[in-house]
Structure 1
């Protein structure tokens, strides 16, 4: 349930932020937005780096500008990293109604085909992790490995997002949104993340109609009403599940449930970290992804 918000007024944190990673000049911030003309509709995307491909799927109410630039560039040091906008966001055309997690997964699969990515590692954050799971079920030949960050299984057994946390994530106040993405004692990490997003030029948001469609799609997934989510055992690729131990939007019981539901999954929990753990603890999470993508290769 990651959110894209206006972050004016946030200043960079000190260099003591434990999630700080070295960011090269240029990188994803200077990558042009391109349009992939897929069989499932146009998709706006950007890419950085070279090497084995990693596809990043953003969460609810998020654009491709929601990824910390330093996080993307750290991955791009050894990989071709592709970020894109979900259906109905930015330059990406909406899917034919009704919108569902499976429909978004089909659109993602069309992007993989169009860009000729060969069995990429697919990293999905929050709602993006639901899409990643559906992609691995519906298009298994397109996925090499999965990284599921702060997300839930679609079996109907996952604990729901606490209502107060859900309301905070949808707040128009960026300070409120950041407060639910990071633990209270990680203000420096929250400010650093907020400031990093201000570096993107020409920032834009998610239309209200698209947010509503995403809400419905996630609710169906969580209730076990999306066929792609009901049987996680159909996912055969190695999977890394990761989250913060203090995730206010996704209780860690869901991470354990997801691990138990999959054939080949390992779990990594980051202490004193929340829903945005992947940016707060980038210096640990990026090497974990690196080790995972190269295991048994």
Structure 2
């Protein structure tokens, strides 16, 4: 089954209904979506490539957004209850927790606070916790706050506008995402998203020092996949933590932006599969 055809599924857990989709079989990988994201914001080619690489690929809508019920929030510590509860309700074990952008922050909180059933973490275009060396670009905030984002906005937000190859990849990715026409999720309200944009555009978006300390102490293998020009979460902030995060591997694509796994869906899936296959969590005796 392709991601384009995957049915919407629902599970009742802890007083709300979480909407999710599942394709493939094998080790589960649970993907936490981006700011303003829902079930339909993942590139089907990336999800299909993960399934083809031997994963059970699970995407979901956060509480109160998309097709899920409950209280909507963009507080990552509260949002982390969604993947935690989904993992428990579906009785998943040996889970790869993954997240894009805001979802990558959520995934880091899961690693720090709810690591019991995890084997690995994979992050896309997100920020490390704590102080940063390079802030976001103002262009992100003006573009992300628009009522509706057109194709040019998508290029600015997730690709590299200066690269013809990245622009062409953006066209292909946007067309693949639009190929699903039935049983789509509900867009995140623009007013809700705007209200959750940081007012101080130079400040760290994820200033959670306890999570940084957890990443410094974890034995869970972590992979971060980035573009070399991410206008919201510059990859330089990860490289600034070299030699302080013992399990973090960094993969950076050239001439790419905030959605590197959409520009390089098959390659990203293969990198993830290789990472999971060749690394393991150190279990202390």
Q: TM-score, normalised by structure 2?
A: 0.86
Aligned to 1:136: 111
Aligned residues: CA RMSD: 2.5
Aligned to 1:118: 93
Contact 1:150 1:255 in 2 (8 A): no
- Aligned 1:16-95 pairs, distance under 5 A: 26-39=1-14, 41-77=16-52, 78-95=54-71
**Distance in 2 between the 1:221 and 1:39 partners?**
32
Aligned to 1:252: 235
Task: Provide structure 2 residue ranges, at least 5 long, that are not aligned to the other structure.
Answer: 281-285
Name which of 160, 165, 172 aligns with 1:183: 160
- Give, in angstroms, the shift of residue 140 of structure 1: 1.2
- Give, in angstroms, the shift of residue 146 of structure 1: 0.5
Deviating more after overlay: 217-226 vs 85-94 = 217-226
What's the secondary structure of 1:255's corresponding residue? helix
Task: Provide structure 1 residue ranges, at least 5 long, that are not aligned to the other structure.
Answer: 1-25
In the alignment of these two chains, the number of paired residues is: 271
**Distance in 1 between the 2:122 and 2:168 partners?**
26
**Distance in 1 between the 2:279 and 2:208 partners?**
35
Contact 1:60 1:214 in 2 (8 A): no
Structure-2 change in CA distance of 1:228 and 1:212 (3 Å): farther
**Distance in 2 between the 1:34 and 1:221 partners?**
36
- Give, in angstroms, the shift of residue 123 of structure 1: 1.4
**Distance in 2 between the 1:155 and 1:44 partners?**
32
**Distance in 2 between the 1:128 and 1:191 partners?**
23
Aligned to 2:275: 292
**Distance in 2 between the 1:292 and 1:222 partners?**
27
- Give, in angstroms, the shift of residue 47 of structure 1: 0.2
Q: Are residues 1:174 and 2:150 paired?
A: yes
Aligned to 1:18: none
What's the secondary structure of 1:222's corresponding residue? coil
**Distance in 2 between the 1:207 and 1:218 partners?**
22
Aligned to 1:266: 249
Q: Are residues 1:192 and 2:172 paired?
A: yes
- Give, in angstroms, the shift of residue 213 of structure 1: 6.0
Aligned to 1:9: none
**Distance in 1 between the 2:170 and 2:93 partners?**
35
Deviations 1:125-146 (A, max 9, x none): 1111000000011111122101
Q: TM-score, normalised by structure 1?
A: 0.82
**Distance in 2 between the 1:113 and 1:218 partners?**
36
Aligned to 1:4: none
